[in-house]
Amino acid sequence: MSVRTVFLARLFGLYCLIVAAAMLSQPETFVAIVHALMADAPLVLIAGVFTLFGGLALVLLHNYWSGGALAVIVTLLGWLTLIKAVVLVALPSTKLAAMYAGVTSTHILISGSLALLLGIYLTVAGFRSPLNR
């Protein structure tokens, strides 16, 4: 397993744990944030550009589709980040607002739970890797 895979697993894992804790503790706030963000086209573009930069960096630095589950999951997260960025930058704000209009507290709780599970897996796998010993 590469040092890069371990670092990104730790980074994504801790990020997911922190975001999941925030989402699960205040789902109504996240619903309001999502709706407010999608209503502000310039902010969506700025978020998309920064996400695009990060997604491209992840895909260029870590595009390993073999080498175990951890490497593949980290690669998949990089590609999903890039795809999300392209959607944010390329889709008209009216379509984005329509896509996210139905987001509810239940969606946030489900997303937060999935982020928590992913965060636990990535953090444990990253910090238990042989490179840490």
pLDDT per residue over 79-125, tens digit each?
999 999 999 999 888 888 888 888 999 999 999 999 999 999 999 99
In the chain, where the domains are located: 3-132
Place of tokens 């946030």: 108
pLDDT per residue over 58-77, tens digit each?
999 999 999 899 999 999 99
Q: pTM for this one?
A: 0.88
Q: How far is it, in rounded angstroms, from Cα 133 to Cα 130?
A: 6
Residue 100: what pLDDT? Answer: 87
**Closest to 107 measured CA to CA, from 38, 16, 7, 24:** 24
CB within 8 Å of 120: residues ≥ 6 apart: 13, 17
Which CA distances in Å does 70 have to 28, 94, 101?
Answer: 32, 37, 34
Q: What is the DSSP string of 9-40?
A: HHHHHHHHHHHHHHHHH-HHHHHHHHHHHHT-
**Closest to 43 measured CA to CA, from 87, 2, 109, 89:** 89
**Closest to 4 measured CA to CA, from 121, 129, 114:** 129
Q: What is the CA radius of gyration of the chain?
A: 16
Residue 130 has pLDDT above 90, yes or no: no
Residue 133: what pLDDT? Answer: 53
Q: How many CA atoms lie within 13 A of 131 on its CB side?
A: 12
**How many CB atoms lie under 10 A from the CB of residue 27?**
19
